[in-house]
Structure 1
Amino acid sequence: MRTLLAVVTGPPTILLTTALVVLLCFWLLVAAGFTSVGSFDADANLRAWGMGGVPVAVAVSTLTAVAWFLSVGGVLLLVVCAPPCAATGLLRMVLPVAALPVAWRLTCLFVRPLHRLFPDEPGPPARGRARDRADHAA
């Protein structure tokens, strides 16, 4: 338990832990009715990132949670399995940063089936429809 607490509150994983705490506070505000899930939808368009079709809060929450779990899990494995040396220390610093692109790809896969739960959100464009619209406009 002490190792887990050290990894969660240690650098650089503390950045993702802080983001996770902020997200938990946001979802508590949503549950209490002080704000809504769609609060940030006008601020960002997630289609370009492959996460369209769900509210921004859901996509960012999923991304943050997945990145946090990958980062903490990877650093825990490194602490338990690898001998302490300079290379391990460097890898421990790089691992949370490397978890972000992996988390982004996994989040794209996770939110894709969720767009059916949010019918008000525009879904990702189908490949054939965009081409058909371009042909009809010409």
Structure 2
Amino acid sequence: MEEFVEALFGFPAMVFTFALIVVLVFWLCVLVGALEHDAFDAGPGSDALGLGGVPATVGVSLVVAVSWALSLIGGILLHRAELPDSAHALAATAVLLGAIAVAWTATRILVRPLRHLFPDEPGPSLLDFVGRTCTIRTGRVDAVFGQAEVTGRDGGTAIVQVRQYGADHLVAGGTGLLYAYDDTGEFFWVASFDAVSDPGTPPA
């Protein structure tokens, strides 16, 4: 046990021991919900590490964990070797660099099956609903009120706010056409799909 503790807080393992503590605290915050989901967004940070396809937080965590394990094992072996101080320092430095190199290579292999969990394609946008038909879910739709259910290209459904610029007979169960989206009001302009072929232009 004493040998393990000395290796844990000795060079080179101590370099990664404190980094591992930071990583563990980060994942603990994730588990308790203290961090937002965008901490896992894949971005240029992972590409810079040569770990494209996964978030930098995942790649760095794996590199740190593997480096720590390798440097700890190396530290224990060096302790048992009882080398002179100068030789021990050189060997420990070699273990440090070797642990980083092996950990980085191992992480590149480990993240490959994880890449499909973090697709590069952007998520669905409300603008994808423009041009699609919908089913009215409220008793009326006017310039200030209305909701409808729309089905996306992936087969999923969503309830959206809808407004109409006109006097179409839009009631629950009717079919409408979403022909424009208002970013300010966060609603769709809708027209009766059966009665209107050219819904016109929404007001400014």
Shorter-chain TM-score bucket reads 0.7 to 0.9
**Matching of residues 99-118 of structure 1 within 5 Å:** 99-118=99-118
Task: Give the corresponding residue for 2:25.
Answer: 25
Answer yes or no: is the 8 Å Cα contact 1:78–1:92 preserved in 2.
yes
Task: List alignment gaps of at least 5 residues for structure 2.
Answer: 122-204
Task: Give the corresponding residue for 1:69.
Answer: 69
Per mean C-alpha deviation after superposition, the further-off stretch among 43-52 and 3-12 is 43-52
Q: CA deviation at 1:53?
A: 1.2
Kindly provide the CA deviation profile for residues 22-56 of structure 1, in whole angstroms up to 9, marking residues without a partner as x. Answer: 00000000001010454274774322432111111
Aligned equivalents of 2:78 and 2:38: distance in 1? 38
Flag the structure with higher strand content: 2
In percent, how many aligned pairs have the same letter? Answer: 40
Task: Give the corresponding residue for 1:133.
Answer: none
Aligned equivalents of 2:45 and 2:22: distance in 1? 21
How many pairs were matched up?
A: 120
Answer yes or no: is the 8 Å Cα contact 1:71–1:95 preserved in 2.
yes
* TM-aligned CA distance change 1:38 to 1:58, over 3 Å: farther
* 1:10 paired to 2:43: no
Q: What RMSD in Å do the two structures reach over aligned CA positions?
A: 2.1
The TM-score normalised by the length of structure 2 is 0.53
* TM-aligned CA distance change 1:35 to 1:68, over 3 Å: same
Task: Give the corresponding residue for 1:83.
Answer: 82
Aligned equivalents of 2:43 and 2:114: distance in 1? 20
Task: Give the corresponding residue for 1:34.
Answer: 34
Task: List alignment gaps of at least 5 residues for structure 1.
Answer: 123-138
Relative contact order (C-alpha < 8 Å, sep 6+): which is higher?
1
* TM-aligned CA distance change 1:111 to 1:37, over 3 Å: farther
